[in-house]
Structure 1
Amino acid sequence: MRRYTRTLVTAALTTTVVAGTAGWASGSAQQAVTGAPVGTAAWRADGLPDPERMTPSQVGAFFRDLTPGRQRELVREHPSVVGNLDGAPLRLRYEANARTLGGRYAGQQVLAFDPRDRGQVALVSGDLATAEHVAVIVPGSDIDARNVKPLTDKAEALHRATHGRTAVIAWAGYTTPVGVGLDAATGELAEAGAERLTRLTEGLAATGAPAPSLFCHSYGSVVCGLAAHDLKAKDLVVFGSPGMRAANVTDLRTSARVWAAKDPSDWIDRVPNVAFAGLGHGADPTDPDFGARRVPATDARGHDGYFAPGTQSLRTFAAIAEGDVR
């Protein structure tokens, strides 16, 4: 009887989440963009290896076997594929995406760009090829290729806070929820995003980049939680998290250090940490029982203020990225 009562309470709380009385108000349904890059059919028709059948390490080996002239030829003939192949040399990806985009994102290093639907993009602050440390910021709802500035602002803030020693990837590389409706309360988009995020970290490893620290905001922490056991990362830092679809750190099955932050004014604190019938994302990562290391965030403001200049959270994020905290 007690278990039945708890189930009813959980169902009621989850319904509350979706109904919007706890801050999950509205949103339109999204279809995750997945699969091979745009232009893959022409790439295959030229007898080139299928991107969907190559791991990032195999992609890296493929390009290493090519002459510099042949590499440049592929950039000219198949820029939308080369620019999105995790494991390909960074300089080729930047060049290929610059060709595809023309003047869009002028002056910025574009690691990936997918024009389909709302668009996906990954922009780099700093030099990935030479940086001592790498960080990746994984966003939550509403971020896409057309609305990437809130994410790049965070990346630039972290890059500055590390005095340029950390290259930071603003990774709008998956289909995010729009608003905070059913998509944000379920895991479908996060599951698709987890596959893409895993491939990103494998691609970084294939280029010789340091294992990154991942900073996962809001619904992005669901993506990181689902990907955790496969990610090549040294840290998982979640903030403003509705849950990671895990009961605790052990349940994540990761060797990465796990950190969590939530400021007292963040509306996410009013969302019940439940999981029922596919809705909700489970335990609060800032709960001591979850087992994550706590990041101080008392002076952050709201759901999106963790990277504000001068905050404890930004200083700690920078120290984590640089490996200065244990």
Structure 2
Amino acid sequence: MRRYTRTLVAAAIVTTVVAGTAGWASGHAQQPVTGAPVGAEAWRADGLPDPERTSAAGIAAFFEGLSPARQRELVRAHPSVVGNLDGVPPRLRYEANARTLGGEHADQQVLASDPRGRGQVALVYGDLDTAEHVAVVVPGSDIDAGNVRPLTDMAESLRRATHGRTAVVAWAGYTTPLGVGVDAATGELAEAGAERLTRLTDGLAAVGAPAPSVFCHSYGSVVCGLAADRLKAKDLVVFGSPGMRAANVGELNTSARVWAAKDPSDWIDRIPNVEFAGLGHGEDPTDPAFGARRVPADDARGHNGYFAPGTQSLRTFAAIAQGDVR
């Protein structure tokens, strides 16, 4: 009875929020970027593997069979495809994206750059070819190619906390919601993001990188929840999560270890943890009944404070990334 009452109350709250923001939300609804990279038509016309029909492992095998000269010829001829094609060796992707971006993100390792929509980008800190450990940071609302600093701050903080021993991918690789309107309350953007995140981890595996620990912030945890059963990951770590679109860890159908953190001052705690008529994202992953391993976060502050230097959450995140906790 208590659960039923909570669902009705939450439904009323969600309905009120949607009604109150409907005009704003309809004017700012985001269309997810999906499909093959920019330039794919010319790539296919040259008889090259279809980016949408070839697996990341197939792309990796194709590039492995090319001479270095032919690889760089494709970088020059099709930089927007090579730079965004999971399974291509990272060094070639960096070179290709440097060509398409010019001076933007100069001296950075750009693993992906898609100009469509609000723009998407993935930046790498460390060496994916030699790192013993890899982490991927998946952001929540408002992050895109023009507003990537909050994400890169998290990635850089995690890399420092591992003393440079973990390569970290700051992955702004999906269309995020803007603000807290209807897009943030529904799963459409997360579903599209889950496909792209799955492809990313497929690509990392295809080039021989270690299975990553995936750190999922806020709405990014919805993306990770929907992708969980397909992700080639050793850990899923959610923090500031509105839910993972699952009732418990078992429903995620993942072999990865699942961790959850929420600090006492995070406003996400005021969001109803239900799904109703397509709105909301389900149970709180930090609820003991969900079954995730709890990450201590009592000294973190607010919704964005989990990677702050000196916090228990950051120390635990670093230990997870390095495989130092069981």
Normalised TM-score (structure 1): 0.96
The question of whether the paired residues in 2 share the 8 Å contact of 1:174 and 1:193 is answered with: yes
- Judge which range, 115-124 or 42-51, deviates more: 42-51
Residue type of the partner of 2:277? A
Match of 2:191 in 1: 191
Aligned to 2:113: 113
> How many angstroms apart in 2 are the aligned matches of 1:309 and 1:20?
38
Partner residue in 2 for 1:252: 252
* Cα 1:25/1:272, change in 2 over 3 Å: farther
For residues 55-94 of structure 1, the aligned pairs below 5 Å read 55-94=55-94
Pair 1:54 & 2:54 matched: yes
Q: Which residue of 2 aligns with 1:129?
A: 129
- Residue 209 of structure 1: SS of its match in structure 2? coil
**What is the Cα deviation at residue 13 of structure 1?**
3.1
Q: Contact 1:14–1:275 (CA<8 Å) still a contact in 2? A: no
Pairing of 1:16-31 with structure 2 (within 5 A): 16-18=16-18, 28-31=28-31
How many percent of aligned residue pairs carry the same amino acid? 83
Quick check: 2:97–2:111 contact (8 Å CA) kept in 1?
Answer: yes
Amino acid corresponding to residue 100 of structure 2 in structure 1: T
Distance 1:189 1:265 in 2: 27
Q: In the TM superposition, what is the alpha-carbon distance from 1:271 to its structure 2 partner? A: 0.5
Q: Provide the rounded CA distance (Å) in 1 between the counterparts of 2:114 and 2:275.
A: 32
In the superposition, relative to structure 1, how do residues 165 and 20 fare at CA in structure 2: closer, same or farther (>3 Å)?
farther
Q: Deviations over 1:85-109 (max 9, x none)?
A: 1011111101000011011001110
Give the distance between the partners of 2:109 and 2:183, measured in 1 at CA: 30
Letter in 1 for 2:38: V
In structure 2, the CA distance between the partners of 1:300 and 1:5, relative to structure 1 (3 Å rule), is closer
Instruction: Please say if residues 184 and 219 of structure 1, whose CA atoms lie closer than 8 Å, have aligned partners that are also in contact.
Output: yes
Aligned partner of 2:227: which letter? A
1:210 maps to 210
Shift of 1:66: 0.8
Pairs aligned (count): 324
Q: C-alpha displacement at 1:18, in angstroms?
A: 3.7
Q: Provide the C-alpha distance between the structure 1 equivalents of 2:5 and 2:190, rounded to a whole number of angstroms.
A: 30
Q: Which residue of 2 aligns with 1:45?
A: 45
Report deviation, 1:2: 9.1
Amino acid at match of 1:166: T
Q: Pick which of 46-55 and 230-239 moved more.
A: 46-55
How far did 1:126 drift? Answer: 0.8
Contact 1:193–1:223 (CA under 8 A) maintained in structure 2: yes
Gaps of 5+ in 1: none
Residue 51 of structure 1: SS of its match in structure 2?
coil
Distance 1:170 1:7 in 2: 36
Report the equivalent of 1:264: 264
> Aligned-residue CA RMSD in angstroms?
1.9
**Aligned partner letter, 1:235:** D
For residues 144-175 of structure 1, give each alpha carbon's deviation from its aligned partner in whole angstroms, at most 9, with x where no partner exists. Answer: 00100110010000000000000000000000
Deviations 1:50-88 (A, max 9, x none): 111100000001101111111010000000000001011
Q: Does 1:235 align with 2:216?
A: no
Q: CA deviation at 1:26?
A: 6.2
Give the deviation of 1:19 after TM superposition: 5.8
* 1:5 Cα offset (Å): 5.9
1:219 maps to which residue?
A: 219
Check 1:25–1:107 CA distance in 2 against 1; reply closer, same or farther (3 A cut): farther
> Residue in 2 aligned with 1:307?
307
CA distance in 2, matches of 1:19, 1:155: 36
Show the counterpart of 1:102: 102
- Gap change, CA 1:34 and 1:323, over 3 Å in 2: same
Q: Which structure exhibits the higher relative contact order, with contacts defined as CA atoms closer than 8 Å and separated by 6 or more residues?
A: 1
- Gaps (5+ residues) in structure 2? none
In 2, distance between residues paired with 1:165 and 1:6? 45
Corresponding residue SS for 1:103: coil
Deviations 1:157-201, CA, capped at 9 Å, x for gaps: 000000000000000000000011000000000000000000000
TM-score, normalised via structure 2 length: 0.96
Cα distance in 2, alignment partners of residues 184 and 129 from structure 1: 35
Deviation at 1:48, TM superposition (A): 1.2
Secondary structure in structure 1 of the residue aligned to 2:278: coil
